[in-house]
Amino acid sequence: MNTRSPLDCPSWKKLEAHAASWRGATLAELQAGDASRARQMVAEAPGLRLDYSRQLAGGLTLRLLAQLAAERGFEEWRAALFAGEKINDTEKRAVGHIAVRADEAGFSRLKDFSEKIRAQGLVKRIVNLGTGGSDLGPRLLADAFGDGALDVRFVANADPVELERATAGARPETTLVVVTSKSFATQETMANAAALKERGYANFIAATANAREARRFGVSEILEFPDTVGGRYSVWSAAGFAGLLAIGGDAFSEFVAGGREIDGHFRSAPLEGNVPALMGMLGVWNVNFLGLHAHAVLPYAHRLRLLPAYLQQLEMESNGKGVDRAGRAVGYATAPVLFGAEGTNAQHSFMQQLHQGPLAVSADFIDAAAGELLSAHARAQADALAYGTQAGGGTALLPHLRHPGNRPSSILGLRGCGPRDLGRLVALYEHKVFTQGVLWNINSFDQWGVELGKQLAQAILTRSS
């Protein structure tokens, strides 16, 4: 497989020179001088439309980025991903979340089991114990589409306050505890599981890749998922079981179907019309050539309010790497700092910084067709960031009223905001992350930076005991 540093690719040098030519350009002038820009700089995938006309980029930019992808062996890496090859080289594993999405039989077993629990009426409350990807994915689903058939709570923190709140008013005999941990050794999760066991909770299910440890703990009902599925990619698997219980099998089927649609698009669409690949390439352009090291995700839909937190882990844990696949220090920036919030709330919080602060930030506005007012606000914020306001009525504006503009963003337009739409979004960002990992020559599927802190915490606890 191609592990050439992007710094050694001829296109990288061309992109650096090309970026210099953009330093005097403004999006306001580009938009005013080219009426076709808004029509041409769009791409579509199943159920969604990417408008990237507010990016500080043009046709040559995209051609050079596509050339970089070719020089980095993008098609070979993509084929290896879908073929199940061991592209997670530091852990010597394949990457299995796409295969899990395609596993109809495995999903049917999970769905049937969840429907049995929901239909029996014996369980009144679900408490999901898990952290990181074992929490963020199912929590996102439950918050977005929970239908109220079950009272589903989530505990990710070792702070006992969260556990107390999740179990307040619950009866052990009518509570089902779902212990979600790939290793079944995650310290926070297992501490919470032990605490509930001591309090008389006996109805446990394990969603794990380590059935042996689950049985040792005393769990008899075990939902396994393969160790090739990383936590931040695991919502499609048994690790998303609490989310499945919260929203029901039909809604979860729609969620998975949306992910499969984007898999097909990413696998077959040419780069110039491949939405996740375009998002990935434009992100590399912003980070490495325009010097934008923070990125905001702003969904204009209440159902998607937890999406930025989900994507924060997906992007920063996947691509926050400083060593490439050949073991070399990268010598260039990788994942930007990702943050975000529900769009209209963000407008009254941190978006002042985006509009007038001295440090420019790129952004994704997600217009989820949640209402005319929300769509108008999403479009207005993107326009304000892109075009700014320097003068009005022929008179110069007072300094505090000036908005510099020229801050790049994209608008992701969705047809709706249902489970299928969320499945499309999650898979879209997964493939964006993969594309950037290829261009940066890094492994997007390990997370050794997470492990050191765990080891040090255990050492501190051992010394103090």
Q: Which of 13, 44, 86, 454 is catalytic?
A: 454
Q: Compute the distance between CA of residue 308 and CA of residue 306 in angstroms, rounded to an integer.
A: 6
Rounded to whole angstroms, the maximal C-alpha distance in the chain is 76
Torsion of the alpha carbons at 99, 104, 109 and 113, rounded to the nearest 10: 100
Query: In this structure, are residues 193 and 203 in contact, taking their beta carbons and an 8 Å threshold?
Result: no
Torsion of the alpha carbons at 205, 210, 211 and 212, rounded to the nearest 10: -130
Q: Which of 92, 348, 372, 400 is catalytic?
A: 348
Strands (E), 274-320: 294-299
Crossing angle of helices 249-268 and 74-83, in 10° steps, is 150
The amino acid sitting at 209 is A
β-pair partners for 366: 299, 412
Q: Which of 188, 261, 315, 317 is catalytic?
A: 317
Active site annotation includes 317: yes
Q: Compute the distance between CA of residue 253 and CA of residue 261 in angstroms, rounded to an integer.
A: 12
Active site annotation includes 315: no
Neighbours of 38 (CB within 10 A): 12
Query: In this structure, are residues 84 and 96 in contact, taking their beta carbons and an 8 Å threshold?
Result: yes
Selection from 370, 388, 368 nearest residue 380 by Cα: 388
Active site annotation includes 454: yes
Question: Is 266 strand, coil or helix?
Answer: helix
**What contacts 438, CB < 8 A, 6 or more positions away?**
69, 72, 73, 74, 77, 78
Q: Compute the distance between CA of residue 370 and CA of residue 421 in angstroms, rounded to an integer.
A: 12
Q: Compute the distance between CA of residue 322 and CA of residue 320 in angstroms, rounded to an integer.
A: 7
Selection from 284, 316, 327 nearest residue 435 by Cα: 284
Q: Mind giving me the DSSP string for 188-219?
A: HHHHHHHHHHHTT---EEEEES-HHHHHHHT-
Neighbours of 463 (CB within 10 A): 7
Question: In this structure, what are the phi and psi dihedrals at residue 267, rounded to the nearest 5 degrees?
Answer: -75, -30
Alpha-carbon distances of 321 from 3, 75, 312, 317, rounded to whole Å: 15, 22, 14, 8
Catalytic residue numbers read 317, 348, 454
